[in-house]
Amino acid sequence: MNASGRRRCFHLRGASQLTPQRLISSQQRRTLNKQSVLERVVVVDVPASAMPISRESRLAYLAASLAGLSLALLAYERIVQPLYGAAATGHWLTNVLYGVTTIIYFGPAPSPATTHFALGVLLCAAPLTAYWTAVLTARFGDPVWGPAVTHGLVLAPIYYLGSCLHMMANLVPQAEIGTEQIVMTQLFYWIPVYAIPFYLASQPDLLVIPSELLLVALGVISLITSRFVYAFSSVPKEQRGRLESNRVFYPTVALVLALVLPSLPAPPTSLPSFPNVTLSIPTAASPLSAVTPLHPTSAYPITILSSIQSNTGRIVVGEIRKPGRKQHAVSENVVNVRFLRAAHSLLGGLWIDERVHTLDDAPAYTDGKGTPLGDSIYAAFVLQEATRLNAAGNPKNALIIGLGTGVSATAFARHGMDTTILEVDPAVYTAAREYFGLPDPGADRVFLEDAGPWVVQRANDTTNPDVEVKGEVYDVVVHDCFSGGGVPAHIFTTEFWTDLKKIMSPTGVLAVIATGKNFAGEPRSKAARAILLTLTTVFGQCRAFHDSLEQLTDAQFDDDFINMVYFCTPAETLAFRDAKPSDFLNSYMRGQILSTLPQREVPLARLIGNATEAEGWEAEWIVTANNNQLGLWQKPEALKHWKRE
């Protein structure tokens, strides 16, 4: 410290201005003299009262920066995934982020106040920039480079500025600069990309926060922080950038918030929300009280009935009705339908309005508000109901794993079966009850949780001799699960199927749906073959049926997305009785699908091919907890599927 009470310290022009000036000793200065980076070092006089804060405070700052970046990444992905799907969104994401955390050491680095200010503006604007950039790049028709361009234009600047903040933490001040760079690069890549998302995924309260609110909240925090950094900065005012001045800061913040805030959804606990303005994301983030918004940019007259951010993504209920304006040119094949969508994936839908037809002009089934509902838009969901046609006996109860719109669950309930529902997403269950006519199964028959642990616990309760009250065993089990365009691999393993078999009756029937929305729907893909071979290994007796209205060729089996259902049983044989009119519930589709069941069967040999001919084929094809390649196999098929949608 010199006589004037000021301490002399050195800092790097640019990058190290992100920190309260980094102190270096004379010995460290001699070390820096040997490095070319010293060319960027300048000497400034800093008041002793403005010296760096404690190491603990720096660590807290680092932790806050990492948490903020992780939340921003989570919110960004949830905005982009409904347009591109999980596989396409994640294809280049990690590469882009790793590149950003690397080039930060070679690019310009603004001052701390400027960094926080620019980061805040980008975060506040991200709900709109992320959505509309993804919309425009999706028109490329490329599920690989479209998301990559979106990441580069929207996420990369945010991540660049966010990564700049780590210089303030200075975790290893006594180490060589290269060592610190390596440590920071790894921290700001691995923690937000891999470590923290595992924790966030287990926090349901956080996952239901709308992504738009999350990004704007982070942006506002960053803007406020920039003012604190500006106020306590040791850099003389005449040396600060224009962006740090109040003359620029406050008008910019006012403009950004004026554009962004009206487009945000109301918090879940608020009063009924107001209609969103034009800048809002078309899939509104909450149901509207008086006005149902028309999709503002689509060629379809799409009406959003409900849109909720939930633990598996944004759950949207919408309708495509017959165009009422001449400028809406839409195919007759997609009008008058009510649909349920989770992120990028369509869970199902029912025909409405003029497309509601019943056998013998019987009264149509209705939803909770009395709206008539027609048949399912997917015949595969009706095909699942063939489990009731088990020739071994008359089923009394059913377990539904993965609800969707509740087509089969509703049918089972209407047939008088006690139906238990196991669904991971509460918003999906709510949508099925309110908009798709699902009857109330009773509070003791609804489990809104992950199927994996639930089945394990029920299997233990059923087989454990020390448990006095045994769990229920099921005559029918329908397994229809997927997540973001692919199946949740942990509930397709040998261990899961073995536990599931323990809670089935000896003559029970399991239906596993294999449609274009889960494991790509290509019957002879690696994922489809592995699941089928795993099922036959565990259950012994399995059969496969398709829902197509025509006979399928070998070329279609190789290249087309085909909806199929695998039926398996622990019994010695699996046979189906002939369908009768009472099985149809006055539905034309049920009559057509169930009465032609024998013609829909596909020989398993046609699906398996030569997969079992090689020695040791089990190691390649049987899916276990320790040998599960489903996620890897599904990625190329998911990208291929996106191009076709």
pLDDT in tens, 289-338: 333 344 444 455 788 999 988 888 889 999 998 765 544 445 556 689 99
CA separation for the pair 112, 229 (Å, rounded) = 7
Neighbours of 7 (CB within 10 A): 16
Give the containing element (helix H, strand E) for 545. strand 541-546
pLDDT digits (tens, 9 = 90+) for 187-223: 666 777 666 666 766 676 777 788 888 998 999 899 8
In 3D space, the residue among 567, 575, 486, 563 whose CA is nearest the CA of residue 532 turns out to be 567
Whether 287 maps to a domain, the answer reads no
Q: Report the SS3 class of residue 290.
A: coil
If asked whether residues 470 and 405 sit together in one domain, one would say yes
What is the H or E stretch that residue 316 is in? strand 313-320
**pLDDT tens digit string along 122-160?**
999 999 899 999 989 988 888 888 899 999 999 999 988
Contact, 586 vs 579, CB < 8 A? no
- pLDDT value at 432 more than 60: yes
pTM of the model as a whole: 0.78
Same domain? For 516 and 625 the reply is yes
CA atoms within 13 A on the CB side of 511: 31
348: which strand partners?
340
Q: How far apart are CA 112 and CA 225, in angstroms?
A: 9
Examine the domain organization and report whether 348 and 473 are in the same domain.
no
Question: In this structure, are 320 and 233 located in the same domain?
Answer: no
Q: How confident is the model at residue 240 (pLDDT cuts 50, 70, 90)?
A: low
**Each residue's pLDDT tens digit, 377-409:** 999 999 999 999 999 989 999 999 999 999 999
Per residue in 5-60, pLDDT tens? 433 333 333 333 334 434 444 444 444 444 433 343 333 344 433 445 566 777 78
Same domain, 45 and 60: no
464-473: list long-range contacts, CB under 8 Å, 24+ apart.
471/503, 472/397, 472/420, 472/503, 473/503, 473/504, 473/505, 473/508
Instruction: Say which residues have a Cβ less than 8 Å from residue 42's Cβ, sequence separation at least 6.
Output: 10, 11, 13
| Phi, psi for residue 445 in degrees, rounded to 5 | -120, 20
Task: Report pLDDT for 371.
Answer: 94
**Residue (of 449, 496, 490) closest to 477 by Cα position:** 496
* DSSP reduced 3-state for 244: helix
Across 111-120, 193-202, 386-395, 486-495, least confident range: 193-202
Residue 580 inside a domain? The answer is: yes
Structure tokens at 613: 């001919």
Paired tokens of 198: 């595992």
How does DSSP classify residue 323?
A: P
**Pairwise pLDDT comparison (509 vs 23), residue with the higher score:** 509
Return the biggest CA–CA distance within the chain: 102
Cα-to-chain-centroid distance, residue 275: 26
Q: Which one-letter amino acid corresponds to residue 449? A: E
Residue 268 lies in a domain: no
DSSP string, 208-233: TS-HHHHHHHHHHHHHHHHHHHHHT-
315 vs 301: CA distance, rounded Å = 19
3-state DSSP percent of the chain in helix, strand and coil, to 5: 50, 15, 35
Rounded Cα distance, 157 and 471, in Å: 54
How many other CB atoms are there within 10 angstroms of residue 437's CB atom?
23
Residue 270 included in any domain: no
Instruction: Give the pLDDT of residue 565.
Output: 94
User: Are 312 and 388 within one domain?
Assistant: no
What is the band of 534 on the pLDDT scale with cuts at 50, 70, 90? very high
Please give the pLDDT value at position 86: 79
pLDDT at 533: 94
**pLDDT-derived band at 580, boundaries 50, 70, 90:** very high
pLDDT at 99: 85
Select from 317, 338, 373 the last residue of a domain: 373
The pLDDT of residue 270 is above 60: no
Residue 209 included in any domain: yes
Rounded CA-CA distance 555/562 in Å is 12
Which of 331, 358, 373 corresponds to the end of one domain? 373
Q: How many helices (H) and strands (E) does the chain have?
A: 22, 16
Tell me: do 514 and 500 sit in the same domain: yes
Residue 6 or 491, more confident? 491
> Does residue 370 carry a pLDDT above 80?
yes
- Checking if the pLDDT of 343 tops 70, the result is yes
Predicted confidence (pLDDT) per residue in 582-599, tens digit: 999 999 999 999 999 999
Question: HEC states along 465-504?
Answer: CCCCCCCCCEEEEEECCCECCECCHHHCCHHHHHHHHHCE
What pLDDT score was predicted for residue 535?
97
Task: Give the integer Cα–Cα distance in Å for 543 and 367.
Answer: 34
Cα separation, 74 vs 193, whole angstroms: 9
Q: How many domains does the chain have?
A: 4
pLDDT top residue among 165 and 338: 338
**Which residue among 326, 354, 373 closes a domain?**
373
- Please give the residue range of the domain that contains residue 493: 379-644
Looking at the fold, whether 486 and 466 belong to one and the same domain comes out as yes
273: in domain: no
Write down the mean pLDDT value for the chain.
Answer: 77
360 and 392 in a common domain: no
Residue 274 lies in a domain: no
Alpha-carbon distance 102 to 89, whole Å? 21
Q: Is residue 289 part of a domain?
A: no
Q: Which residue has the higher pLDDT, 63 or 448?
A: 448
- Indicate if 388 and 531 belong to the same structural domain: yes
Most confident of 361-370, 557-566, 636-645: 361-370
- The reply to whether 366 and 383 lie within a common domain is no
Query: Is residue 113 located within the same domain as residue 145?
Result: yes
Those residues with Cβ within 8 angstroms of residue 282's Cβ, 6 or more apart along the chain or in another chain = 293, 295, 296, 297, 298, 304
What does DSSP assign to residue 154? Answer: I
